[in-house]
Structure formats: structure tokens, C-alpha cells
Chain A
């Protein structure tokens, strides 16, 4: 009897380890996570509009139907990325996600304070390699450091009433994400 109890206890402890391991591994093995769902239709380094959710079909669950959404999937291994998003009438935001859907940075039109949100995305290494004087002369450049080489940028524009949706969509159509060529020196 004692023997079986001990075995059950040992099994439970092992079960705890299994639990923690599965929780930690799950985001890395999920095939239906947001990044994988969007990656199918989103080429790298290009702004791609995401279809609006309907009751019949939605690119991902829990999308806000009041927003027009576009994504730019990035790969920084070839160099930094430049992003420019014109600001729409109501509310525009840009959110940055890692390959595993962790949101690490977001900015909205008011925080950017201009008519166009302009950002540069690079890894910490690429940021460190930047010539220092360039960093100073362009003090108003907004530089975001990505913790991972690949990831996703979600650009959202609010249509505060359904009639404004075409306008929000056209704002996003003018957004650009382009790879910067590495400096030749």
C-alpha cells in the first residue's frame, strides 16, 4: 500500500514537471497561433491587409471588428526595417510582436505626434553597429529594438463608425514597410 502511495506521489511530482514543460513549450510548437495563421498570406517585409472578421470566417479569433488591420511580417537577418504609417482620422496604432506573439512595443498616433508614424526596427546588434554620429544627428529618429530576428508588426486604424471603414482601409494601404540596405562602407 505504502509503495503504491509513494509511486503515486512520485508520479504527481513528475506530473508537475510535465505541466511546466508543456506550458513553456506550447507557444514554440503551436501551429495555429496568430503568427502562423497570418504568415500564410503575409509575405515578408510587405504591408498586407488582413481581411475583416465576419461570423463565417475570421483570420484570427477575438479580432476587433471596428478596426482595419494590416500586418507586416519581418525578418531582420538581412538588415533593419523602416516603417511609415500615415495617421487616420480617428485612431491609429502600431504594435510589434515577436515570432511567438509577445507584444513588446506599441505606439499610437498621439504618442508619435505627427501625421505619419515613422519607425526603424532593428536588432540590438544592428543598433549597436550604427555609427554614433548618425545616431546624434537624427535625434528625432524613432528606433525600436526587436528581441527576435523575425516577428510581426500589426497596424490598426479605427473606423469609429462602419461608414468610415473604407477610409481606415485606404490609410493602411498607404503604409509602407521596407528593408533598408545595409550600409556599404
Chain B
């Protein structure tokens, strides 16, 4: 009886630890070799054959196709430069320049990777659509209400994700730090 109880206990611990850690790792998007610049994170290896099992498992679970490294690189932001979460009821400002790339796109998704409905049917910007300052820098306002200039509507959802995809870019596996790669800063302001 004691033996049976003991093995059941050990198996229960194994199931909780094993499945719990798997769930935790996949929902947090844990993987090796992240490239973090400011509030932006990319996993350059996720688009190569060297993708580690954690990346592969999380890609399969989400059901997306990763951007191949020969095609481009996708940076994701879920919080601003000071660590405040991106809240669709607040106003956030992206400003600065992007790393060298032939094209880039910026897209706003909800946590599940779906586009967010809004009155003007704008889900993102491409590098060709943006209005820039004379020095080439730009400013994008991510806000629930209409703004002058480059306005990306949030639809008022609670949490959103910004994805900046660089296409045909030298930024990748060999890039170590943010010094040589200028990413736009993200700042939440004006939270009701």
C-alpha cells in the first residue's frame, strides 16, 4: 500500500512538474538566443534550420509560419522602454529610426496574433507609407483615438503586441547588441 501511494505521489509530481514547465515555457515564449534591443525582441534562429526545440514547439502551438532569416527578421514588443505593458486604452509613441532594411512593416495584433478591428481599417504601416521628419526619423502614435500624423489605432483593446518586421536586412544571427542596430523607442504616455 505504501509503495503504491509512494509511486502515485512521485508520478503526480512528475506530471505536474513536467507538463507545468512545458506550459509555462511555451506561454512565455522561452527560447534560446533572443536578440533584445530596447523593448524589442527577436529570435533570429527561429527562421533557420538551427531553430531549437523550444522555438519549434512554440511555433507549432501558435500555428504561425516563422519568417525565414533569408527573408527577414521579426521583432516583437509587448511593453514599452520602461517596462510598462502596451495597453490599447493608452497612447504609445514609437519614435526614432529603424535598422538598415529594404522594407519594413509594423503591425498591431492582439495577444493571440489576430488583427484588431478599427474604424479606418488600418492594421499597420509599411516603410513606404510613413510620414517622416527631414532627418529620416519618424513618429508613430499608437492610440485608441484619432491622431494627426502616423496614427496606428488600437481599437481600445487591453493588451496588444507590436511586430516590426525587417525585410532583406543584414540584422540577424551575428548581431550581438543594440549599439549597431537602432530600433525605434516605445513610450507609453497619457494613460486614462
Contact = CB atoms under 8 A, between A and B. Distances in A.
Interface in A20-72: 21-24, 26-27, 30, 32-34, 36-37, 53-56, 58, 60-67
A24 B52 CA distance: 10
Interface in B47-73: 47-49, 51, 53-54, 56-57, 59-72
Contact of B63 (A12, A15, A34, A95): A34
Contacts, number: 207
Given A30-B61, A61-B63, A8 B18 contact: no
Given A93-B167, A108-B167, A62 B62 contact: yes
A2 to B, nearest CB: 12
Interface residues of A, dominant DSSP: mixed
A108 B65 CA distance: 17
Contacts of A8: 9-10, 13
A125 to B, nearest CB: 18
Contacts of B62: 61-62
Interface residues of B, number: 61
B167 A158 contact: yes
B105 A66 contact: yes
Contact of A64 (B26, B66, B165): B165
A135 interface: no
A126 interface: no
B69 A158 contact: no
Given A27-B60, A66-B124, A15 B18 contact: yes
B103 interface: yes
B100 to A, nearest CB: 14
Nearest to A98: B49
**Max chain A C-beta neighbours (<10 A), residue from B47, B60, B114:** B60
Nearest to B121: A162
Contacts of B48: 103-104
A13 B13 CA distance: 9
A166 interface: no
A65 B123 contact: yes
B189 interface: no
B9 A7 contact: yes
A26 B60 contact: yes
Interface in A146-185: 147, 152, 154, 156, 158, 160-161
Nearest to B2: A3
